[in-house]
Each structure stands twice: as C-alpha cells, then as structure tokens.
Structure 1
Amino acid sequence: MKKQVYHKAKAKQVYMTQSQVTRALIQKEIRTVHRRSIKTSKMRRK
C-alpha cells in the first residue's frame, strides 16, 4: 500500500515538473514571437 502511494506522489511530482517545463517553453515562444513582432513593426515604420 505504501509503495502505491509513493508511486502516485512521484508521478504527480513528475507531472508538475513537466507542466512547469512546458509553461516555461510556451512563455519563451511568446517572448520570441513578441520580440519579432516588435522588430517587424519598427521596420515597417521606416
């Protein structure tokens, strides 16, 4: 019984870390896209 609970806890931990990693990646993507859009808008003004 204890083993099962430990396994569940570990699985939850892994899932949390995965979600955090994906969230960080998504934020990075948004940042790069935002930066690119700013660059293009500056170029268009000229």
Structure 2
Amino acid sequence: MGKIRKTYDAKFKKKAVDLYLKEGMEYKTVAKELGISYFMC
C-alpha cells in the first residue's frame, strides 16, 4: 500500500516562502514552525 501524500494550498506555501525569504529563517526552522518534516523541503 502506498503512502497518502499531503497537499498544501497556496496560502500555506506562501507562508513557508515568506518565512524563509523575508524572515531569514533556515529551512529546518521553517519546517518546524509549520509542523512539517524538513525532509520535505
């Protein structure tokens, strides 16, 4: 049986990009902040 992939809407993705680019957070910190695995980044 395959894994079910989680999808993220445009608002969630924009928040992730804003945290990374505008706030200067590292990708691992962004992932932790958003509650996702940093391996997905």
TM-score, length of structure 1 as denominator length: 0.31
Where is the helix percentage greater, Structure 1 or Structure 2? 1
Please give the TM-score of this superposition, normalised by the length of structure 2.
0.34
- The structure, 1 or 2, with the larger RCO (C-alpha pairs under 8 Å, 6+ apart) is 2
